[in-house]
Amino acid sequence: MTNAKRLEGVLSPVVTPYTPDYEPDLPRLIAHCRWLLSQDCGLAVFGTNSEGNSLSVDERIELLEGLVDAGVDPKRMMPGTGCSALSDTVRLTKRATALGVAGTLVLPPFYYKGVSDEGLYRSFSEVIQRVGDAKLRMYLYHIPPVSQVPITLGLLERLLKEYPEQVAGVKDSSGDWSNTKAMLDAFPGFGVFAGSELFLLDTMRNGGAGCISATANINPAAIHRLFATWQNADADAQQAQLAELRKFVQSFPMIPALKQTVAHFNGHPGWARLRPPLVELTEAEAQGLISGLEQRGFTMPGLGKAA
């Protein structure tokens, strides 16, 4: 399909910590990224569950530069760089690529709905041409439940034909396995990531690249184990165990639940803070979440306590 370098494995849309005045907390972000890397999990910073679109372009660039300056390996990163404005997407993607990231996760311009494949093709094409960097590896982000701007097979086919090196893969967060399977079938060798570990085993069995999953923020090692051992006899049992925990966590509002879990196991209540308009779990929800995790014997080994 393409000679473009392809990422593989499990990546987390890293949750973003905030200070009491809702400023990004870089030291705590660095610490969480280091823990994720220690658990064999890559970093899709500024994804949906990172509250990426609640961060300005300047904030994302500053955080990304701060991570790299702190020694976090950019080759383990796939930062989200897609914005509604073409110029913002270009600026973020260009800076991330210059910093040496392995790839960029690019949403379609998502404000206007019902746009044509022609319009989306022009948008992605302009990003590629304006970034103008041979190192660019773009992963398109298909999340129609949120963006309401789908990335169709026809659009992927056209972009791959024109930009076989730069367009390296796709994250399918449609929640529809038949759509992920169609992408895998249509584009062998393309870097297709499932948007949840619920589909990780099926994705690997059909030639996929891995998954980029919200719950990799809290359960990275177990998800990576399935990625690494998907051909083993216990793969279906692993998948069932991952699915049970995922379904429990997503029975709560996902981003607040992830941050509440980190706060509990890290021992720093501020980790539960979200930037408005998102809000924290209610006290009852938080108690139900932590109680359910404890009943399952869930832990986050090696996370360490807050300094």
Buried b / exposed e along 31-44 (16+ C-beta atoms within 10 A): bbbbbbbebbbbbb
Backbone φ/ψ region at 29: left (φ over 0), alpha (ψ -120 to 50), beta: alpha
Choose, from 16, 18, 48, 180, the residue flagged as catalytic: 48
Choose, from 171, 180, 203, 261, the residue flagged as catalytic: 171
Q: At what angle do helices 117-131 and 86-98 cross, to 10 degrees?
A: 40
Residue 163 known to be catalytic? no
Q: Please identify which residue in the block is written with the tokens 């408005």.
A: 276
Report the alpha-carbon distance of residue 249 to residue 247 in Å, rounded: 6
Residue 171 known to be catalytic? yes
Structure tokens at 225: 């184990």
Report the alpha-carbon distance of residue 185 to residue 148 in Å, rounded: 24
Residue 111 known to be catalytic? yes
Choose, from 5, 22, 75, 111, the residue flagged as catalytic: 111
Task: Answer yes or no: are the C-beta atoms of 67 and 97 closer than 8 Å.
Answer: no
Choose, from 18, 89, 139, 141, the residue flagged as catalytic: 141
Instruction: Give the three-state DSSP class for 102.
Output: coil
Residue 48 known to be catalytic? yes
Positions marked active-site: 48, 111, 141, 171
